[in-house]
A = this chain, B = another copy of it.
Amino acid sequence: MTDRYAEHRRIARDLGVDAIALVPGFNFERLYNAGFSSFERPMVIIIPAEGAPVALVPNLELLSFAALGFEGEVFDWRDQTGYSDAFAAMAAHLPLKSLAVEGQVMRVFVHHALATAWPGLRIIDAEKQISGLRLRKTPDEVAALTRAIRLSEAALAETVAAVKVGMTEREVESLLVAALFRNGAQGLAFGPIVAAAGNAAMPHAHARDVALRAGDALLIDFGGRKDGFAADITRTFFIGHADDRAHQVYDTVLRANLAGLAVTRAGISAHEIDDAVISVLEASPFADYIRTKTGHGLGRDVHEAPYIMRGNHEILAAGTVYTNEPGLYIPDEIGVRIEDDVLVTEGGYISLTEYPKDLTVIG
């Protein structure tokens, strides 16, 4: 029987620590294929370099926790009595001198409880190593992410088919979220951005009660969440017609997107992809309207490593998924962004996003 903790034990050995601690979050979900909401109740799994893991679990989660098939001792605690005794019992069961934790996931109150239970414990931040296990997606994970993307694309197609001049941004947003859930989304990856004309030049634009006019660019950045994975897609459409300047802006962004895809393959750095993308925008007449880097990793989390930006010389391995999302943002006039979800392969890439990218006039 394979040891599902093999990767975590290897990290512990590589770092020279006694054990790895995991708390609820995306690393936990990847390991157990089940999620917990932690809120104010500590829940911790400790995986030693060798031997059985231990867990500290809120009593009210015991039933759900049982479904994980956990292999070791479980120390539960109740709201009425608090968690210090359970931490102490766990420490007595598994003596530790050093522990690696997910520094960007674990919160200070759990850190304090660990430091109290194991006096003198050396706690090191192994975020990079632990979350690094999520960098390379397995075929099953790629399949799940692709399902989230496909349902999101189906929702986009249905929405766009219904858009008409005079409809408001908010009406379009409403059609979009309805289509996402109709197509099987279990949640939204994030609050969608549905923004026309100058509104699309604003970051985190909210849909307004403003009607679409002929000639407007309409930016839609959205994604559905399904079975633990999040899609993140942007397309920019034109209502009724697109003038020459709109064509010029759109074509520049599309060329930047394609330049990023063209250099993508296992072994390239995040810096090199961003450089290929941003260089196209910089060489255009719209260089003053660059606002953002190329993109970010995508998987269980909507924003995860690797960050595709100049200065990040991290090498991308096959199995990495990142968003290629160049944009140009001209204040009070137009915002154009084209965002694909891209799987890095040995020989190149597969765009998991298949929605067409040619300039499209709708409505």
A: residues with CB less than 8 A from B are: 37, 39-40, 79-80, 101-109, 111-112, 123, 125, 127, 170-171, 173-175, 177-182, 184, 186-188, 190-191, 206-207, 225, 303, 305, 307, 309, 311-312
Contacts and interface: CB of A to CB of B under 8 A. Distances in A.
A154 to B, nearest CB: 13
Give the oligomeric copy count: 2
A206 B226 CA distance: 11
A-side interface mostly: mixed
A311 B81 CA distance: 9
A311 B80 contact: yes
Contacts of A187: 188, 190-191
- Which 8 residue pairs of A and B lie closest in terms of their CB atoms, listed nearest first? A178-B178, A103-B109, A187-B191, A174-B182, A80-B311, A174-B181, A103-B108, A177-B177
B184 A170 contact: yes
Nearest to A39: B303
Contact of A182 (B80, B107, B170): B170
B101 A127 contact: no
A178 B173 CA distance: 8
Contacts of A102: 108
A39 B303 CA distance: 8
8 contacts: A40-B305, A101-B108, A106-B107, A108-B111, A177-B178, A177-B181, A181-B207, A191-B225
Contacts of A177: 177-178, 180-181
A196 B137 CA distance: 35
A224 B337 CA distance: 27
A92 B159 CA distance: 55
Contacts of A108: 101-104, 106-108, 111, 123, 125
Contacts of A188: 187-188, 191
B79 A311 contact: yes
Contact of A104 (B105, B109, B182, B190): B109
Given A108-B101, A109-B104, A182 B171 contact: yes
Contacts of A182: 170-171, 174
Contacts of A206: 186
A79 B312 contact: yes
Contacts of A104: 39-40, 107-109
Contacts of A191: 186-188, 225
Nearest to A292: B60
A229 to B, nearest CB: 14
Contact of A175 (B173, B178, B307): B178
A174 B186 CA distance: 10
Contact of A309 (B79, B112, B181, B184): B79
A186 to B, nearest CB: 5
A114 B105 CA distance: 17
